[in-house]
A and B are shown apart, each in its own frame.
Chain A
Amino acid sequence: MSLTYEEVILKYEPVLGLEVHVELNTKSKMFCGCATEFGAEPNTQTCPVCLGMPGALPVVNQKAIESSILIGLALHCSVTPFSRFSRKNYFYPDMPKNFQISQYDEPICVNGYVDVEIETEEGPKQFRVEIERVHMEEDTGKSLHVGGATGRIHGADYSLLDFNRAGIPLVEIVTKIVPGTGKYAPEVAKAYVAELRDILRSLGVSDVRMEQGSLRCDANVSLRLIGAETLGTRSETKNVNSLRSVERAVRGEMIRHAELLNRGERVVQETRHFQEDTGLTRSGRSKEQAEDYRYFPEPDLVPVEPDAAWVEILRVSLPEQPTLRRKRLQEEWSVPDKEMAAMINADALDIVEATVEFGADPTRARGWWLGEISRIANEKDVSIAELAITPVDVAEIVALVARGELTDKLARQVVEGVIAGEGKPSHVMETRGLKVVSDESALMAAIENAIAAQPETAEKVRSGHIPAAGALIGAVMKETKGQADAARVRELLLAHLGQ
């Protein structure tokens, strides 16, 4: 018995909780001087400290602390006067020390919020997502599972560990529970992560590339009957690695919970894994007994007590807030509200801004990204950022059109070619032979042919019935395979027919 989303929200109210892990873009790791380059050869960025060798000791990266404070400040948190690292003790092969150094009950920042705006049927609506804490920790190594049919952990014969990622600084941002989003829970979750990503990007503290795992979201979802006071049992969905997935995961979990509850079954409090291909979640291997992390203050490190002056220096360096930036860009580009919302919703703001920076007119840049390019992205079921076309390409195309070297129609083919991986726009134009026919004698020949073929239509135009010219222009365009500038054809045709 499968439920529709509409059926779910008629009966239940969702409560959200979001935990976002952000890999900081420090040059060196959290507790040692190893480099943090993404994609390096395995185990080339490791040392006794991040391999958890006997005798090695951690020392905190100052930049990581400052980045964490910046994040806290940007999220309207208070920076705690005393914070500490603890050890979270559990065994896992990709965790070199078999404990993770993590802040526990004394995090660096607490109590903030993020306001997000989403489009609803009643117009734009704002939600406040409250932040419980921002804390620092270290990442684990990466495992490669070998053997077995699936290439997954289950059924693998053995695993190969690369510790380049081990010890990369992570900041975890945990929301308080988010009630009251109603049917908009999936959109709010997505908007929150998007907003957080924009804030983090504006701070310059992380690459925030979800597809590379430098921003990872765990979504906690529970349902309760509308009007009920007590919270339902929550599930925690991990591996949600794109904005779209955040929305899908929340929606999917809401439906799954509701189906269970409707059948009179219980929601199990567990970790689930989001599967990008199906959009469904899969249960993590449930543990027979609960873990007991045995947290205690990390004795190898001393407390972090940011003094007021340090915090103030960081506060002054905070960049423009994304909401303010959006307002500014909307004004600069004179974008109507509705289209601005569409642009934000399509996550196209940065890409459009970059295109404008490369010289494109804002309206045209927006038109391409939200129009043709978004259409192709939708067809391919990917985001516009994932396509092979870049802001430089789009700026070039806009310029070519402006110079009359391409018509809009030809330009669409160029866009298609660039996305298909055929190369830069100029290259695509050349190989596909897409160029405005500007040779006027060739055009005149085509016009003569058209008039000869449709003498009656030509006569109508001569006698002042201008709209009839359309059929002739069409014929010319057909003959030139669409490579002529229609406006110029029209001009020449009308002049030729005495108009």
Chain B
Amino acid sequence: MSTLSRADVANLARLARIEMTDQELDDLSSEMDVILSAVARVQEVATSDVKPTSHPLPLRNVVRGDVVTPSLSPEAALSGAPASEEQRFRVPQILGEEA
């Protein structure tokens, strides 16, 4: 059973893009320990001979035909945007790789 340090939680918060106060990180790391020790029980029965189920339905090959259907109007598409300009979503500067 693993425990989560404050730094571990901080890294998870970074991956999940959630800013967290020191207090929150502390609270969460202790809560995570409690929850993880409870959920780690799954390992007791998850032996190698059991196949994982990722979906309750036995469906296969559900597809749609290559048919164009109406899009939203740009006004509707942008209607919820916190900011827009030139019919585009306006977002703060992107720091990161050039795509």
Contacts and interface: CB of A to CB of B under 8 A. Distances in A.
Contact of B90 (A62, A91, A158): A158
A159 B97 CA distance: 14
B11 interface: yes
A93 B96 CA distance: 10
A302 B61 contact: yes
A143 B94 contact: yes
Contact of A35 (B71, B73, B91): B71
B66 A156 contact: no
A63 B66 contact: yes
B78 interface: yes
Contacts, number: 145
A42 interface: yes
Nearest to A292: B15
Contact of B86 (A42, A48, A51): A42
A294 B93 contact: no
Interface residues of A, number: 61
Contacts of B98: 152-154, 239, 273, 284
Contacts of B78: 43
A33 B71 CA distance: 8
B2 interface: no
A13 interface: no
A61 interface: yes
A47 interface: yes
Nearest to A36: B68
A245 interface: no
Query: Interface size bucket, B side?
Result: 35 or more
A41 B87 contact: yes
Contacts of A355: none
B87 to A, nearest CB: 5
Best-buried of B59, B92, B93 by chain A (most CB within 10 Å): B93
Given A43-B88, A144-B88, A289-B14, A284 B97 contact: yes
A94 B99 contact: yes
A26 B11 CA distance: 40
B66 A93 contact: no
Contact of B89 (A41, A98, A160): A160
Shortest Cβ-Cβ A-B pairs, 8 listed:
A33-B69, A63-B66, A160-B88, A62-B63, A161-B89, A302-B59, A297-B54, A43-B74
21 contacts: A28-B67, A33-B67, A33-B69, A33-B70, A34-B68, A42-B88, A43-B89, A45-B71, A61-B64, A61-B66, A62-B64, A65-B63, A92-B96, A152-B98, A156-B93, A158-B90, A159-B91, A159-B93, A159-B94, A160-B88, A297-B54
Given A28-B67, A93-B91, 17 more contacts: A27-B68, A44-B73, A59-B62, A61-B66, A62-B64, A62-B65, A91-B17, A145-B93, A153-B93, A154-B98, A158-B91, A160-B88, A163-B89, A273-B98, A285-B97, A294-B15, A302-B62
Interface of A: 26-28, 32-35, 41-48, 51, 59-65, 91-94, 98, 140, 143-146, 152-154, 156-163, 239, 271, 273, 284-285, 289, 292, 294, 296-297, 299, 301-306
